[in-house]
Amino acid sequence: MSSSSSNAPSLGEFLRTRRAAVTPELAGLPPGRRRRTPGLRREEVATRASMGTAWYTALEQGRNVQPSDQALACLARALLMTETEREHLYALAGRPAPPRAIDNGSTINPILQRLLDRMEPDPAYVMDAYWEVIAWNQAAAQLFDIERTGDKHPRNKLWWVFTQKRIETHEADWLKSARTLVSIFRSQATRYAGDPRMRQLIDDLLEASDVFRELWAEQDVLDLGSGRKSMQLPDGSNREFDYLPLRIPDLPGACLMIYLGVE
């Protein structure tokens, strides 16, 4: 907390405006009499954030203090910040914000489903933070056999790869693709290390696949990226596809996967 931040003035200004926006009623406090401050008082924010009033005042005034991740999290809760406001708070403090929580109850925006349908005849699907396919078009359903039942994780992309070993046209392509997928999955799964469903998925994959277990032990990490791959169609023929992942802001950890057939 001792080093200064180049964003301190902006951080202090942001905190002041958020403090002014939270009424006592919103914070569950009595309105009180002769309240001159719009929103909460500094001492009220400090109390709600479990920190000293003098330290919070210095932070708001842009003085030589540097908040820890824990302090920022407490301030975000105390000031009832939205996810976007919380991420902005961390950015102003020069720190990466923790990932947004996975919303297991999220539903697909109808506009997104319309986009998937309009991608026909090119395959496209939406994959959540657990790599579970939660929306798709008919071309994707046919290519990846998404609508099959009976598997432990019937719509999970990693489960397809490591228990079905289909789609890629050659074993070398499959191994290359599998290594890449595990590296991408590791970088994402680490952000949700405390999530029990994520932990269960990893445990199931480790038990089900020797190859996954070997690749997981390599500790490689990659980010999502575009590329080209040759895949086997349901009729047994082969075709090349350019693939592109797109993040979906409304669904933390999810992405839209688009496969464009190469003519």
Tens digits of residue pLDDT in 56-105: 999 999 888 889 999 999 999 999 999 889 999 999 999 988 888 776 65
Question: Do 150 and 86 fall into the same domain?
Answer: no
- Specify the pLDDT at position 193: 83
Q: Could you report the per-residue pLDDT of 17-64, keeping only the tens digit for each?
A: 999 999 988 888 877 667 777 799 999 999 999 999 999 999 999 888
Cα–Cα dist 40/49, whole Å: 12
Residue in 47, 84, 48, 92 with CA at minimum distance from that of residue 67: 92
Question: Do 198 and 148 fall into the same domain?
Answer: yes
Cα–Cα dist 56/41, whole Å: 11
Question: Do 222 and 184 fall into the same domain?
Answer: yes
Task: Please say which residue of 37, 57, 92 terminates a domain.
Answer: 92
- Specify the pLDDT at position 196: 92
Question: Do 120 and 203 fall into the same domain?
Answer: yes
Q: Could you report the per-residue pLDDT of 138-167, keeping only the tens digit for each?
A: 999 999 888 877 678 889 999 988 987 555
What DSSP character marks residue 123?
-
Residue 35 lies inside a defined structural domain of this protein: yes
Q: State the alpha helices, DSSP H only, in the chain.
A: 8-21, 42-48, 53-60, 69-78, 83-92, 110-118, 138-144, 157-164, 171-189, 196-208, 210-217
**Percent of the chain at pLDDT exceeding 70:** 90
What DSSP character marks residue 230?
E
For the chain, the domain total comes to: 2
Question: Do 82 and 132 fall into the same domain?
Answer: no
Handedness of CA 193, 254, 220, 180 (dihedral sign): positive
Q: What is the pTM of this model?
A: 0.75
Question: Do 128 and 244 fall into the same domain?
Answer: yes
User: How far from chain centre, in Å, is Cα 241?
Assistant: 26
What is the average per-residue pLDDT within 246-261?
91
What is the average per-residue pLDDT within 232-252?
89
Task: Please say which residue of 60, 92, 124 terminates a domain.
Answer: 92
H helix or E strand, kind and range, residue 239 = strand 238-247
Question: Do 148 and 45 fall into the same domain?
Answer: no
Residue whose entry in the numeric block shows the structure tokens 């932990």: 199
CATH assignment at residue 167: 3.30.450.180
Question: Do 141 and 177 fall into the same domain?
Answer: yes
Cα–Cα dist 157/149, whole Å: 14
Question: Do 115 and 88 fall into the same domain?
Answer: no
Can you spell out the DSSP letters for 33-99?
Answer: SS--SSS--HHHHHHHTTS-HHHHHHHHTT-S----HHHHHHHHHHTT--HHHHHHHHHHTT-PPPP
Question: Do 115 and 212 fall into the same domain?
Answer: yes
Cβ burial 49-82 (10 Å sphere, 16+ → b, else e) = bebeeebbbbbbebeebbbeeebbbbbbebbebe
Q: Please give the residue range of the domain that contains residue 116.
A: 110-261
Please state, rounded to an integer, the average pLDDT across all residues of the chain.
Answer: 88
What is the average per-residue pLDDT within 1-13?
63
Tell me if residue 176 falls in helix, strand or coil: helix
Cα–Cα dist 218/224, whole Å: 18
